[in-house]
Amino acid sequence: MITGKTTVVGIMGDPVEHSLSPPMHNAAFQELKLDYVYVPFHVKRGNLALAMEGARKMGIKGLNLTIPHKIEVINYLDEVDEVAKLIGAVNTVNFTDDLVTGYNTDGIGAVKAIEEVRSIKNKKIIIIGAGGAARAISFQLLLSGAGEVLIANRTREKACILADNLNEISATSVGCLGLDDELTLELEDTDVLINTTPIGMHPHEDDEPLVTADMMHPDLVVNDIVYNPLETGLLREADKAGAIKVPGTKMLIYQGMEAFRIWTGKTPQLETFETVLMKELNR
Ligand SMILES: NC(=O)c1ccc[n+]([C@@H]2O[C@H](COP(=O)([O-])OP(=O)(O)OC[C@H]3O[C@@H](n4cnc5c(N)ncnc54)[C@H](OP(=O)(O)O)[C@@H]3O)[C@@H](O)[C@H]2O)c1
């Protein structure tokens, strides 16, 4: 029951009505008997400064930020965690009495998802895409000890800009390529492939995946961060190749669990988040 003592956290985005975070977090609060509630806030572009000021004044404890606020929110924080600073985007904010701090849990979410099936230490990893998600994941991969990272993108120049940014902070080799024969060649000895493009996402389930079974090998870990549909075209190709699949739901779950830990100091059960998410996605 919500009372005057209930602690409020939530998500600000535009749109926000399709967010799956409220049911996941609220189920975990109940499970751990924490007097918290997670609320969606529809904050339109242009209103974020006021909304953040309001959040401070209303004693909100924590926020997630989604499209289009992840970069702009940095202007309204007192401090930004090192990883979020490198990524240049914040998806989680923690409010204490005297400090508002920003974090980015997307990268750690992706790394934890992959590490359910394979350690990324010293592994060769190819990321397809060079947008916001690729940026968050690639910085975290370097910080978590990846051996080699290649960014492959339709617009090769964007992949090379991201690779340059990554090379500035790490001794790990980071390269860039386009979506051509070079990608096929590099995949031969790659350990982990991560798709961060929206290809195959609802309502475009029938899009041809950028990597097909003939380009994969059975020991390859294939992570598609698209989670709607649950089984994307890329994951079906991974099945055909006998490769190891990591669905996009895992990143969504782990990034949320990390935010939950930042706000409450407690680690929720993976199963709680997963059961609720699957129920929502299967509706
Ligand atoms: N599972 C999770 O928790 C999670 C978290 C965050 C995001 N996501 C998903 O990740 C996806 C990307 O998000 P984002 O924020 O990184 O998007 P973004 O910043 O817009 O970047 C999209 C990237 O995909 C590439 N791309 C788009 N359409 C393409 C096409 N038809 N062919 C080849 N490449 C194409 C773009 O290439 P160009 O540079 O050439 O345009 C760009 O590199 C979305 O589907 C989002 O839902 C999932």
What 3-state DSSP class applies to 13?
A: strand
Asked whether the beta carbons of 211 and 184 are under 8 A apart, the reply is no
Q: 7-104+250-281 has which CATH code?
A: 3.40.50.10860
User: Which tens digits make up the pLDDT trace of 75-122?
Assistant: 999 999 999 999 999 999 999 998 999 999 999 999 999 999 999 999
Mean pLDDT of 155-163: 98
The alpha carbon of 126 is separated from its chain's Cα centroid by a whole number of angstroms, namely 16
Residue-averaged pLDDT of the chain? 97
The pLDDT value recorded for residue 93 is 98
Is 7's pLDDT higher than 90? yes
The pLDDT value recorded for residue 215 is 98
- DSSP character string of 26-89: HHHHHHTT--EEEEEEE--TT-HHHHHHHHHHTT--EEEE-TT-TTGGGGG-SEE-HHHHHHT-
The pLDDT value recorded for residue 56 is 97
Establish whether residue 132 lines the binding site of ligand 1, counting it when its CB lies within 6 angstroms of any ligand atom: yes
Is 38's pLDDT higher than 90? yes
The pLDDT value recorded for residue 115 is 98
- Between 244 and 283, whose confidence is greater? 244
Query: In degrees rounded to 5, what are phi and psi of residue 34?
Result: -100, 135
Amino acid at 106: D
> What pLDDT band is residue 154 in, cutting at 50, 70 and 90?
very high
Q: How far apart are the CA of 193 and the centre of ligand 1, in A?
A: 15
Domains 7-104+250-281 and 107-246 fall in the same CATH topology = yes
Is 259's pLDDT higher than 90? yes
What is the pTM for the complete model shown?
A: 0.96
Residue length, the chain? Answer: 283
Atom of ligand 1 nearest to the CA of 228: 47
To test ligand 1's pocket by mutation, which of 11, 18, 106, 196 has the most ligand atoms within 8 angstroms of CB? 196
Question: How far is the C-alpha of 146 from the C-alpha of 140, rounded, in Å?
Answer: 9
| Architecture of the domain made up of 107-246 | 3-Layer(aba) Sandwich (3.40)
To test ligand 1's pocket by mutation, which of 225, 257, 280 has the most ligand atoms within 8 angstroms of CB? 225
Domain edges within the chain: 7-104+250-281, 107-246
User: Which tens digits make up the pLDDT trace of 205-218?
Assistant: 999 999 999 999 99
Question: How far is the C-alpha of 64 from the C-alpha of 25, rounded, in Å?
Answer: 11
Mean pLDDT of 226-238: 96
User: Which tens digits make up the pLDDT trace of 173-195?
Assistant: 999 999 999 999 999 999 999 99
The pLDDT value recorded for residue 28 is 98
- Give the contacts of 72 (CB within 8 A, at least 6 positions apart): 48
Establish whether residue 88 lines the binding site of ligand 1, counting it when its CB lies within 6 angstroms of any ligand atom: no
Q: Whose CA is nearest to atom 47 of ligand 1?
A: 226
Establish whether residue 84 lines the binding site of ligand 1, counting it when its CB lies within 6 angstroms of any ligand atom: no
Picking from 34, 21, 61, 40, the residue whose alpha carbon sits closest to that of residue 257 is 21
Q: Which residues are catalytic?
A: 70
Is 283's pLDDT higher than 90? no
